[in-house]
Amino acid sequence: MARNAKKALEELSHRGPHEVLHGDLALVGLPGIVCTPRSGRGLPAVAFGHGWLQSPRRYAGLLRHLASWGIVAAAPGTQRGPLASHRMLAADLRTALDICTGVRLGDGQLSVDDRKLAVAGHALGGGSAVLAAADDPRVRAVGTFAVTETMPSALAAAHRVTAPGLHLTGGKDLLAPSVANAEPIAAAWGGPVQLRTLPKASHLGFTEGRHWTELVLHGKAEYRTQRTARALLTAFLLRHLDGDGRWGALLDSDVSGATIDEARTRSAALTA
């Protein structure tokens, strides 16, 4: 049992106990990547949506991290152009969940429980995750990083999402400021929700490695942002998909670099 939020953050920012396998979703008809524990039955799974113009490989460390903690993590590599369809990316997130539950993964020593499914994403991938959750009753949790409004509207869809939501926003994000994106989405959320601000995070701080879009978008990969986001999302998914309550202190408390927006948080159920 993690005794306090600081200890929980430290533990969950490191790799978990599972050996991780990597796979290509294209082998089953959907471009993208998937990371899984080597083995396990009845595992939880999350489908992760990339940001605008980003590759799913810019989140490979996050996917590996989740898999190391026993969560199957799949990221579609579709809708990567400048005119990406948010509706289609949402559909691809649901397809990724179908693959996780319906296709044999790994070497046959693991399976996913269709009652333990989540969606998450960065920027437009976060908005698309909200769209996916609104239309898929299987989704039990939703996580977003620097979420942006979409077409159709993620804000309108948020009213229909009753699954718990965790929204992380960057205090230095000039492309998706919280006041115009995460805050109204959290306020409209149909279920328990928590909004956190990472004061020093930029828009691309949640991504990994170098990419040409750093020339046209705001920010760059930030280790501290990634570390904090990984720990919080891992705690959130373990709690709501796998019933693992060891990380309640982290979900219920401010930690250095990630403060809770109390005005837009209805989080009692997040740590129950």
Question: Coil, helix or strand for 108?
Answer: coil
Q: What is the mean pLDDT of each run of 10 residues along the chain (272 residues)?
A: 80 95 91 95 97 96 98 97 96 97 81 97 98 98 98 98 98 95 97 97 95 85 96 97 91 91 77 48
β-pair type (259-260, 193-198): antiparallel
Burial (CB count <10 Å: 0-12, 13-18, 19+), residue 108: exposed
Question: Coil, helix or strand for 226?
Answer: helix
| Residues forming beta bridges with residue 168, ordered by sequence position | 145, 196
Residue 10 tokens, joined: 């430290």
Q: Rg of the chain over CA atoms, in angstroms? A: 16
Cα–Cα distance measured from residue 2 to residue 227, given in angstroms and rounded to the nearest whole number: 18
Residues 6+ apart with CB under 8 A from 187: 264
Q: pTM of the entire structure?
A: 0.94
Residue 34 near residue 6, CB atoms below 8 Å: no
Q: Give φ, ψ of 146 to 5 degrees.
A: 50, 50
Residue with tokens 């039955």: 41
Residues in the chain: 272
Cα–Cα distance measured from residue 12 to residue 135, given in angstroms and rounded to the nearest whole number: 31
Cα–Cα distance measured from residue 252 to residue 249, given in angstroms and rounded to the nearest whole number: 5
Instruction: Count the Cβ atoms, other than its own, within 10 Å of residue 206.
Output: 30
Cα–Cα distance measured from residue 18 to residue 30, given in angstroms and rounded to the nearest whole number: 25
Cα–Cα distance measured from residue 108 to residue 90, given in angstroms and rounded to the nearest whole number: 28
pLDDT score, position 270? 56
Q: Give φ, ψ of 227 to 5 degrees.
A: -60, -50
Residue with tokens 């990724």: 96
pLDDT score, position 41? 93
pLDDT score, position 269? 46
Residue 237 tokens, joined: 């998914």
pLDDT score, position 103? 86
Maximum distance among all Cα pairs of the chain, rounded to whole angstroms: 47
